[in-house]
């Protein structure tokens, strides 16, 4: 099940897998494999413990791991794990940790839409206007930008993500990324559109309140506002999440929805370790 492979991620808008073009990395959402031992341990059912080398920001040397491993799906193809779900449900935390445990590359596909939205805002353009030019010229190193996780970019990303031409421009990069060596990808349409034949599909959800609290904490870990102020801020975050869910679920192209064969994990009452353990159990059941 464990195979060795030199890992090269394709360029966005480039020639795709097999082009041999290593992507300059050190980015937030794009990370090379953690190596074979981690994958073997995880599939043997060992607790992941602290060896989740899941912080993509610590990745160095590009999306290249000459000694990296790539686990295979039961039919011998590259193992692709799709992690979909609404905003702040815990997809990213899980997907990053899974990738670290299984020795697979990881791609946070939301960053692609965030970059496109950010670039529209930078250009003084309405994100609802045609953003396909920004999508077609996007480069992997853009994913490392530090200004992609603001509420303004949340909204802009959702707007550009509703445009068929933007999604078309970003599709091949995502497919090539996963096809090259297998991968864990998180997003909204990984199991339905990008990799409809992924060996493992997870759909991560949580209540509006739990998601709003988590997102508020991510953005405000450094502050301790009075209870009333905190409550009002969480309520505002919740309203934003609900609005974005509605836009993401209601759009015509690649709407947010669970694939028919996805396994759902509700993270309301589970901490990150418990979600990871459950996901590893599902992967073992599917992949063996």
Residues that bind ligand CDP (CB under 6 A): 87-88, 109-110, 113-114, 154, 157-158, 161, 187-189, 244, 248
- Min dist CB 20 to ligand CDP, Å, is 26
% helix / strand / coil in the chain, to the nearest 5? 45, 10, 40
Residue 65 or residue 91: which is nearer to ligand CDP going by CB? 91
Where b means 16+ CB within 10 Å and e means fewer, 142-160 reads bbbbeebbeeebbbbbbbb
For the bound state, the minimum distance from the C-beta of residue 235 to ligand CDP, rounded and expressed in Å, comes to: 17
Could you tell me which residues come within 8 angstroms of residue 282 by beta carbon, excluding any fewer than 6 positions away?
200, 202, 263, 265
Kindly tell me which of 39 and 187 has the beta carbon lying closer to ligand CDP: 187
Helix (H) or strand (E) holding 155: helix 151-161
In the complex with ligand CDP, which residue's Cβ is closer, 28 or 53? 28
Closer to ligand CDP by Cβ: residue 65 or 107? 107
- Cβ proximity to ligand CDP, 69 vs 109, nearer residue: 109
Residue among 282, 275, 217 nearest 52 (CA): 275
State the nearest-atom distance from the C-beta of 113 to ligand CDP, in Å: 4
Give pairs for 251-255: CB < 8 Å, separation 24+. 251/161, 251/162, 252/162, 252/164, 253/162, 253/163, 253/164, 253/167, 254/167, 254/188, 254/189, 254/192, 254/193, 255/188, 255/189
């Amino acid at each position: 099940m464990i195979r060795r492979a030199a890992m090269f991620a394709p360029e966005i808008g480039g020639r795709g897998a097999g082009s041999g073009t290593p992507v300059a990395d050190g980015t937030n959402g794009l990370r090379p494999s953690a190596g074979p031992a981690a994958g073997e341990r995880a599939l043997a059912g060992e607790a992941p413990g602290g060896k989740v080398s899941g912080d993509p920001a610590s990745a160095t040397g590009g999306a290249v791991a000459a000694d990296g491993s790539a686990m295979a799906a039961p039919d011998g193809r590259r193992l692709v794990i799709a992690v979909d779900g609404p905003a702040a449900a815990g997809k990213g935390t899980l997907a990053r940790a899974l990738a670290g445990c299984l020795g697979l590359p990881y791609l946070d596909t939301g960053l692609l839409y965030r970059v496109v939205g950010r670039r529209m805002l930078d250009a003084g353009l309405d994100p609802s206007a045609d953003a396909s030019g920004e999508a077609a010229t996007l480069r992997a190193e853009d994913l490392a930008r530090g200004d992609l996780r603001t509420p303004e970019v949340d909204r802009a990303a959702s707007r550009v993500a509703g445009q068929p031409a933007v999604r078309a421009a970003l599709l091949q990069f995502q497919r090539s990324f996963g096809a090259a060596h297998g991968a864990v990808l998180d997003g909204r349409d990984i199991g339905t559109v990008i990799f409809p034949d992924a060996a493992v599909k997870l759909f991560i959800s949580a209540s509006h309140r739990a998601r709003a609290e988590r997102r508020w904490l991510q953005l405000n870990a450094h502050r301790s506002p009075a209870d009333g102020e905190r409550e009002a801020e969480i309520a505002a975050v919740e309203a934003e999440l609900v609005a974005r869910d509605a836009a993401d679920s209601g759009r015509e192209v690649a709407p947010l929805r669970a694939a028919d064969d996805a396994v759902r994990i509700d993270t309301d009452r589970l901490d990150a370790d418990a979600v990871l353990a459950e996901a590893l159990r599902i992967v073992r059941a599917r992949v063996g």
